[in-house]
Chains A and B, each alone.
Chain A
Amino acid sequence: QKEVEQDPGPLSVPEGAIVSLNCTYSNSAFQYFMWYRQYSRKGPELLMYTYSSGNKEDGRFTAQVDKSSKYISLFIRDSQPSDSATYLCAMSAAGGSYIPTFGRGTSLIVHP
Protein backbone atom coordinates (compact mmCIF):
# COMPACT_ATOMS: atom_id res chain seq x y z
CA GLN A 1 0.00 0.00 0.00
CA LYS A 2 1.33 3.43 -0.95
CA GLU A 3 1.67 5.95 1.85
CA VAL A 4 -0.53 8.42 -0.01
CA GLU A 5 -3.26 7.38 -2.41
CA GLN A 6 -4.92 9.73 -4.86
CA ASP A 7 -7.30 8.82 -7.67
CA PRO A 8 -5.71 9.99 -10.95
CA GLY A 9 -9.07 10.73 -12.62
CA PRO A 10 -9.75 12.44 -14.88
CA LEU A 11 -12.61 14.06 -13.05
CA SER A 12 -14.85 15.94 -15.46
CA VAL A 13 -17.42 18.42 -14.15
CA PRO A 14 -19.55 21.21 -15.59
CA GLU A 15 -18.72 24.83 -14.87
CA GLY A 16 -20.18 25.98 -11.55
CA ALA A 17 -20.08 22.55 -9.92
CA ILE A 18 -18.63 21.88 -6.50
CA VAL A 19 -15.56 19.70 -6.87
CA SER A 20 -14.26 17.33 -4.24
CA LEU A 21 -10.69 16.06 -4.55
CA ASN A 22 -9.40 13.54 -2.03
CA CYS A 23 -6.36 11.73 -0.71
CA THR A 24 -6.03 8.92 1.77
CA TYR A 25 -2.89 8.11 3.69
CA SER A 26 -1.52 5.43 5.96
CA ASN A 27 1.10 7.24 8.07
CA SER A 28 -0.55 8.59 11.21
CA ALA A 29 2.53 10.77 11.87
CA PHE A 30 1.66 13.18 9.05
CA GLN A 31 0.96 16.61 10.49
CA TYR A 32 1.09 19.08 7.59
CA PHE A 33 -1.13 18.63 4.57
CA MET A 34 -0.63 20.57 1.34
CA TRP A 35 -2.53 20.97 -1.89
CA TYR A 36 -0.85 21.98 -5.12
CA ARG A 37 -2.31 22.87 -8.50
CA GLN A 38 -0.31 22.01 -11.59
CA TYR A 39 -1.25 23.26 -15.03
CA SER A 40 -0.02 21.31 -18.01
CA ARG A 41 3.73 21.75 -18.58
CA LYS A 42 4.10 24.02 -15.54
CA GLY A 43 5.46 23.57 -12.03
CA PRO A 44 3.13 22.80 -9.11
CA GLU A 45 1.77 25.89 -7.37
CA LEU A 46 0.98 25.75 -3.65
CA LEU A 47 -2.73 26.39 -3.10
CA MET A 48 -2.93 25.98 0.65
CA TYR A 49 -1.76 23.94 3.58
CA THR A 50 -3.27 22.90 6.88
CA TYR A 51 -1.84 21.71 10.13
CA SER A 52 -3.35 18.66 11.84
CA SER A 53 -7.12 18.32 11.65
CA GLY A 54 -9.76 20.83 10.68
CA ASN A 55 -10.78 23.05 7.81
CA LYS A 56 -9.12 25.96 6.10
CA GLU A 57 -10.81 28.22 3.58
CA ASP A 58 -9.28 30.48 0.95
CA GLY A 59 -11.71 32.03 -1.49
CA ARG A 60 -13.40 29.25 -3.46
CA PHE A 61 -11.08 26.60 -1.99
CA THR A 62 -11.57 24.68 1.26
CA ALA A 63 -9.11 22.14 2.60
CA GLN A 64 -10.34 19.60 5.08
CA VAL A 65 -8.35 17.09 7.15
CA ASP A 66 -9.84 14.12 8.98
CA LYS A 67 -6.95 12.52 10.85
CA SER A 68 -9.14 9.84 12.42
CA SER A 69 -10.01 8.54 8.95
CA LYS A 70 -6.62 9.46 7.44
CA TYR A 71 -8.44 11.35 4.72
CA ILE A 72 -7.97 14.82 3.30
CA SER A 73 -10.11 16.74 0.85
CA LEU A 74 -9.96 19.86 -1.27
CA PHE A 75 -13.29 21.41 -2.22
CA ILE A 76 -13.60 23.89 -5.06
CA ARG A 77 -16.81 25.91 -5.14
CA ASP A 78 -18.21 27.46 -8.31
CA SER A 79 -15.62 25.67 -10.43
CA GLN A 80 -14.33 27.47 -13.52
CA PRO A 81 -12.68 26.19 -16.71
CA SER A 82 -9.50 27.88 -15.44
CA ASP A 83 -9.51 25.38 -12.55
CA SER A 84 -8.78 22.60 -15.05
CA ALA A 85 -5.44 21.23 -13.90
CA THR A 86 -3.88 18.39 -11.95
CA TYR A 87 -4.19 18.68 -8.19
CA LEU A 88 -1.55 17.07 -6.00
CA CYS A 89 -1.79 16.45 -2.31
CA ALA A 90 1.32 16.25 -0.15
CA MET A 91 1.94 15.62 3.52
CA SER A 92 4.86 15.78 5.91
CA ALA A 93 5.69 14.35 9.31
CA ALA A 94 8.04 15.29 12.13
CA GLY A 95 11.13 13.19 12.72
CA GLY A 96 12.91 10.88 10.29
CA SER A 97 12.93 12.15 6.72
CA TYR A 98 11.38 15.57 6.47
CA ILE A 99 10.63 15.14 2.79
CA PRO A 100 6.92 15.49 2.01
CA THR A 101 5.14 12.53 0.47
CA PHE A 102 3.16 13.41 -2.64
CA GLY A 103 0.09 11.84 -4.15
CA ARG A 104 0.17 11.13 -7.87
CA GLY A 105 -2.32 13.88 -8.60
CA THR A 106 -5.92 14.05 -9.82
CA SER A 107 -6.64 15.50 -13.24
CA LEU A 108 -9.63 17.87 -13.15
CA ILE A 109 -11.47 19.06 -16.23
CA VAL A 110 -14.10 21.78 -15.85
CA HIS A 111 -16.06 22.14 -19.05
CA PRO A 112 -18.09 25.27 -19.96
Chain B
Amino acid sequence: DGGITQSPKYLFRKEGQNVTLSCEQNLNHDAMYWYRQDPGQGLRLIYYSQIVNDFQKGDIAEGYSVSREKKESFPLTVTSAQKNPTAFYLCASSILTAGGAKNIQYFGAGTRLSVL
Protein backbone atom coordinates (compact mmCIF):
# COMPACT_ATOMS: atom_id res chain seq x y z
CA ASP B 1 0.00 0.00 0.00
CA GLY B 2 1.90 3.05 -1.26
CA GLY B 3 1.80 6.31 0.54
CA ILE B 4 3.33 8.81 2.89
CA THR B 5 3.52 8.01 6.58
CA GLN B 6 3.91 10.73 9.16
CA SER B 7 4.52 10.01 12.80
CA PRO B 8 3.60 10.66 15.46
CA LYS B 9 0.08 11.92 14.92
CA TYR B 10 0.28 14.13 18.00
CA LEU B 11 3.40 15.53 19.63
CA PHE B 12 3.99 17.71 22.63
CA ARG B 13 7.07 19.84 23.10
CA LYS B 14 8.40 21.23 26.33
CA GLU B 15 10.10 24.60 26.55
CA GLY B 16 13.67 24.45 25.17
CA GLN B 17 13.25 21.01 23.71
CA ASN B 18 13.99 19.86 20.15
CA VAL B 19 11.50 17.44 18.65
CA THR B 20 11.66 15.43 15.44
CA LEU B 21 8.76 14.65 13.14
CA SER B 22 9.07 11.61 10.94
CA CYS B 23 8.08 11.37 7.27
CA GLU B 24 8.52 8.22 5.19
CA GLN B 25 7.30 7.56 1.65
CA ASN B 26 7.26 4.37 -0.41
CA LEU B 27 6.11 6.02 -3.64
CA ASN B 28 9.66 6.26 -5.02
CA HIS B 29 9.18 10.01 -5.34
CA ASP B 30 12.21 12.21 -5.89
CA ALA B 31 11.13 15.30 -4.02
CA MET B 32 9.87 15.73 -0.49
CA TYR B 33 8.50 18.78 1.33
CA TRP B 34 7.52 20.03 4.74
CA TYR B 35 4.68 22.49 5.23
CA ARG B 36 3.26 24.19 8.24
CA GLN B 37 -0.48 24.87 8.40
CA ASP B 38 -1.99 27.36 10.82
CA PRO B 39 -5.69 28.21 10.96
CA GLY B 40 -6.60 30.69 8.25
CA GLN B 41 -3.05 30.85 6.90
CA GLY B 42 -2.92 28.12 4.30
CA LEU B 43 0.19 26.05 3.70
CA ARG B 44 3.60 27.56 4.29
CA LEU B 45 6.70 25.83 2.98
CA ILE B 46 9.41 25.07 5.54
CA TYR B 47 11.96 22.96 3.64
CA TYR B 48 12.11 20.87 0.51
CA SER B 49 14.48 18.37 -1.04
CA GLN B 50 14.88 17.22 -4.64
CA ILE B 51 17.51 14.56 -4.09
CA VAL B 52 19.27 12.71 -1.31
CA ASN B 53 21.72 14.77 0.74
CA ASP B 54 20.39 18.04 -0.65
CA PHE B 55 17.65 20.36 0.61
CA GLN B 56 16.60 23.99 0.36
CA LYS B 57 14.95 26.44 2.71
CA GLY B 58 11.38 27.39 2.10
CA ASP B 59 9.57 30.52 3.21
CA ILE B 60 9.69 29.87 6.96
CA ALA B 61 12.81 27.75 7.62
CA GLU B 62 13.99 29.60 10.74
CA GLY B 63 13.86 27.36 13.81
CA TYR B 64 13.62 24.16 11.78
CA SER B 65 16.14 21.69 10.39
CA VAL B 66 15.91 18.68 8.07
CA SER B 67 18.01 15.87 6.68
CA ARG B 68 17.65 13.67 3.60
CA GLU B 69 19.93 10.68 4.05
CA LYS B 70 17.60 8.28 2.24
CA LYS B 71 15.24 8.84 -0.65
CA GLU B 72 12.34 7.51 1.39
CA SER B 73 12.84 9.62 4.50
CA PHE B 74 12.74 13.36 5.25
CA PRO B 75 12.58 14.04 9.01
CA LEU B 76 11.91 17.54 10.33
CA THR B 77 13.37 18.79 13.60
CA VAL B 78 11.61 21.64 15.35
CA THR B 79 14.32 23.28 17.40
CA SER B 80 14.05 25.35 20.56
CA ALA B 81 14.74 28.39 18.37
CA GLN B 82 11.24 28.07 16.93
CA LYS B 83 9.30 30.16 19.43
CA ASN B 84 5.83 29.45 18.12
CA PRO B 85 5.85 25.80 17.04
CA THR B 86 2.21 24.97 17.71
CA ALA B 87 0.78 24.02 14.31
CA PHE B 88 -0.23 21.20 12.00
CA TYR B 89 2.78 19.90 10.06
CA LEU B 90 2.36 18.24 6.69
CA CYS B 91 4.87 16.24 4.70
CA ALA B 92 4.44 15.83 0.95
CA SER B 93 6.27 14.16 -1.91
CA SER B 94 6.20 14.37 -5.68
CA ILE B 95 7.81 13.08 -8.85
CA LEU B 96 9.86 15.70 -10.61
CA THR B 97 9.54 15.99 -14.36
CA ALA B 98 11.82 17.65 -16.88
CA GLY B 99 10.98 21.34 -16.97
CA GLY B 100 9.33 21.14 -13.57
CA ALA B 101 5.85 22.30 -14.54
CA LYS B 102 4.14 19.10 -13.48
CA ASN B 103 4.61 18.85 -9.74
CA ILE B 104 1.69 16.94 -8.27
CA GLN B 105 2.20 16.66 -4.54
CA TYR B 106 0.82 13.91 -2.33
CA PHE B 107 0.45 14.50 1.37
CA GLY B 108 0.74 12.54 4.57
CA ALA B 109 -1.88 12.63 7.33
CA GLY B 110 -0.02 15.28 9.31
CA THR B 111 1.44 15.73 12.78
CA ARG B 112 -0.16 18.10 15.25
CA LEU B 113 2.49 19.70 17.46
CA SER B 114 1.60 21.47 20.67
CA VAL B 115 3.68 23.20 23.30
CA LEU B 116 3.32 22.12 26.93
Within 8 A of B (CB), among A39-79: 41-46, 49, 51
Within 8 A of B (CB), among A11-52: 31-32, 34, 36, 41-46, 49, 51
Interface size on A, residues (CB 8 A): 27
Interface size on B, residues (CB 8 A): 26
Verify A105–B102 contact, CB threshold 8 A.
no
Cα distance A92–B106 in the bound complex, in angstroms:
14
Cα distance A44–B103 in the bound complex, in angstroms:
15
List, in ascending order, chain A residues with CB within 8 A of B100's CB: 92-96, 98
Verify A102–B43 contact, CB threshold 8 A.
yes
Which residues of A line the B interface, CB within 8 A? 8, 31-32, 34, 36, 41-46, 49, 51, 88, 90, 92-96, 98-100, 102-105
Which residues of B line the A interface, CB within 8 A? 4, 6, 33, 40-43, 45, 48, 58, 88, 90, 96, 99-110, 112
